Structure 1
Amino acid sequence: MQGIGLAILVCGLACATASAAAGPEIQIEDVERFYEIYDAANGHPTVEQLQRDYLDAGSDGLHTLARIRNVTAQSIADRIAKQPAMYTNAKSCLAVLPRVRQRLEVSLRELVRLYPQARIPPVTIVVGRGKPVGVGYPDTGLQIGLEALCAVDWFYPNLEDRFVHVIAHEYAHIQQVATNTDEDHFTVLQRSLLEGAAELVAELTSGKTGYAHFGPLTQGREKEIETAFVADQDKTDLSQWLDNSTLEKPGDLGYWVGYRICKAYYQHASDKTQAFRDILEMTDAKSFLAKSGWYPGIQLQGAR
């Protein structure tokens, strides 16, 4: 994108051990190519154009997101037709990326300080089908959906903050051992702890959690919500707790409960360095919960 002053650095997962001190690599060539196609088609690219000129010609990061999150030319075209403003507005979000990169440099330096073996792969910014906002896995790197992240108004209103804290959340997923297991068989507790751990790591490294909307949803209802969570913790139907937010209505209370369990573990630990490592390397959800000291309605210092 001309004029945003951000170099496009093409690098694969071989760069995963790059020093955070050098600044995180933010790859935007997929976004540039998408908007060349989009603008040339006056905002109405065809499925064939999106497939041939965007997806097929895309980066490894875009191909990864397409594979693991079912991003297709047809699904993108359908979303453009249904919500054209999402794609028009997303283009302006690129302007915040230079400052985002600077702030992420500080956040990732803190991550490496707290967890010296941390991997720092590039962030690939892509345009997708309106979701997901972002994904991060140890073996596939980190991808952020520009149009999805820019469109969620109940995230941080400041776009720069929104990118920084969500990307910090996703960088935590890159480090997690348990994210390599079969997601299709996660229980409510397992998945909530993975997301809650990423929220706590984002808070400890970037200053705030990735998702900022839980206060109004939970205030005064903490014990009620968490008692219901305990009853559902072993279910493999996650729909009441996770992946249930829409553009209009926030949800995903499993993130919030998982964050509070992880924060209880961290606050109760005498060795914070070991606790941070335990949170990222957690594989036994039940054991972690038992050791956390958490209970429904617990009062935590500085918890949101």
Structure 2
Amino acid sequence: MLAFSARAEPVVSTSDVERFYAIYEAADGKPTADQLQRDYLDQGTDGLKHFASIRKITGERIAKAINERPEIYVQARECVAALPAAKARVGSALNRFSELYPEAQFPPVTISVGRGRPVAVAGPNDGINIGLEALCATTFINPNVEDRLVRVMVHEFIHVQQNPELTDKENPTVLDLSLVEGSAEFVTELLTGDVAYAYMADLVKGQELEIETRFQADMASTDLSKWLYNSTPSNPQDLGYWVGYRIAKAYYSNAKDKRQALEEIITTSDARAILAGSGWEPGSGIE
């Protein structure tokens, strides 16, 4: 289990990225599956080994991804330059977070190179993992690389704080996980000035009432496929993030005690209680 820090000074490890590109360059951009397994994954940090274990990342799968999508591994090298400034901005955001929510914990962040997905994962016991090549390839999230790095990391830090009774629910509903993701988006906006998944504003413009009406009809369903984890670079979706964000923001806006409201949003195990307290309904709050 990784050690957590109670200070808003994120430990961001990039040594796996450095080792990957040493291997990559020595092989002229075509490392073998064996090289990637033996010299990269097997020699990786604890964070990378955990990431590889839970997301089935192997030398063979990375080699296949490099062969099929070589451009994302070239592009990821350019993102490395944005990491120092991004780390400083994340630190500032988390200092603000620790003031608003003193119970916050700040796990280490491991940035590594994988098989093209996922962008990021976070767990209450195992810290945060960022797949650099995946995050750098998802320009649709936010075209500004530094902003994308900062806000995705902050979004993942919020996930770490959330109640496992909601985040790890056995049969979550559309509402449950939309609130999990939307709350992380709302708190990210509160701390950094904007949400992580910035494309949402343009995607929903002029369709707010129609989207939220459909969401209301589906929110008790355990079929997540229409609302969550269904984005691709050519077809950005994940509209549950946006509706969940609207619910969390409404709950916070309506609360007299903002600090208490923030704690309730982060620690809730009952999405319906937050929904009820938010006053949200389809089309509410459209500006």
TM-score band by shorter chain is over 0.9
> Which one is further off, 173-182 or 146-155?
173-182
Which residue pairs with 2:19 in the alignment? 33
* 1:268 equivalenced with 2:268 (yes/no): no
From 26, 31, 48, the equivalent of 1:62 is: 48
Q: What residue in structure 2 maps to residue 9 of structure 1?
A: none
Q: 2:109 aligns with which of 112, 123, 135?
A: 123
8 Å CA contact retained: 1:134, 1:144? yes
Aligned to 2:187: 201
| Per-residue CA distance 1:22-48 (angstroms, 9 max, x = gap) | x32210011111111111111111111
C-alpha contact (below 8 Å) 1:17/1:121 kept by paired residues: yes
SS state of the match for residue 262, structure 1? helix
The corresponding residue for 1:178 is: 164
Which residue type is aligned with residue 246 of structure 1? Answer: T
Q: Hey, what does 1:284 align to over in structure 2?
A: 270
Cα distance between partner residues in 1 of 2:137 and 2:265: 31
| Cα distance in 1, alignment partners of residues 166 and 126 from structure 2 | 10
Contact 2:173–2:222 (8 Å) recurs in 1: yes
Question: How far did residue 180 of structure 1 move?
Answer: 7.2
The partner residue of 2:216 within 223, 230, 242 is: 230
The separation in 1 between residues aligned to 2:221 and 2:52, in whole angstroms, is 28
> What is the Cα deviation at residue 213 of structure 1?
0.4
Consecutive unaligned residues in structure 2, runs of 5 or more: none
- Once the two structures are superposed, residues 189-245 of structure 1 have per-residue CA deviations (whole angstroms, 9 ceiling, x without a partner) of 111100001001101112211110012211111111111111111222211111111
Give me the identity figure in percent.
52
Structure 1 partner of 2:5: 17
- TM-score (normalizing by structure 2): 0.95
RMSD of equivalent CA atoms: 1.6
Q: Distance in 1 between matches of 2:222 and 2:54?
A: 19
> Partners in 2 of 1:249 and 1:70 — Cα distance?
25
Hey, what's the Cα distance between the residues in 1 that align with 2:278 and 2:286?
12
Structure 1: tracts of 5 or more residues without a match: 1-11
Instruction: Quote how far apart the aligned CAs of 1:179 are.
Output: 6.6
Deviation larger for 107-116 or 216-225:
216-225
User: Where does residue 4 of structure 1 map in the other structure?
Assistant: none
Partners of 2:269 and 2:232 in 1: how far apart?
30
Tell me the distance in 2 between the aligned counterparts of 1:71 and 1:239.
Answer: 24
Aligned residues: 287
TM-score using structure 1 length? 0.90
Large movers: runs of 4+ above 4 Å: none
Aligned-partner residue type, residue 121 of structure 2 = V
Structure 1 residue identity aligned to 2:209: K
**How many angstroms apart in 2 are the aligned matches of 1:148 and 1:179?**
29
After TM superposition, give the deviation of residue 185 of structure 1 in Å.
2.2
Q: Deviations over 1:25-84 (max 9, x none)?
A: 210011111111111111111111111111111111112222222222222222111110
SS at match of 2:121: strand
SS at match of 1:136: strand
Q: Which residue of 2 aligns with 1:8?
A: none
Q: CA separation in 1, counterparts of 2:48 and 2:6?
A: 21
Alignment of 1:48-87 (within 5 A): 48-87=34-73
- Shift in alpha-carbon separation, 1:300–1:267, aligned structure 2, 3 A: farther
The CA deviation string for residues 1-33 of structure 1, in whole angstroms up to 9 with x for no partner, is: xxxxxxxxxxx722x12411xx32210011111
Is the 8 Å Cα contact of residues 138 and 180 (structure 1) preserved in structure 2?
no
SS at 2:231 equivalent: coil
**Letter paired with 2:102:** P
Change (3 A) 1:296 1:178: farther
Note if contact 2:109-2:130 (Cα within 8 Å) is conserved in structure 1: yes
Is this contact kept in 1: 2:167–2:177, CA < 8 A?
Answer: no
1:161 is matched with 147
* Partners of 2:63 and 2:228 in 1: CA distance: 26
| Structure 2: distance between partners of 1:155 and 1:101 | 19
| Letter aligned with residue 19 of structure 1 | R
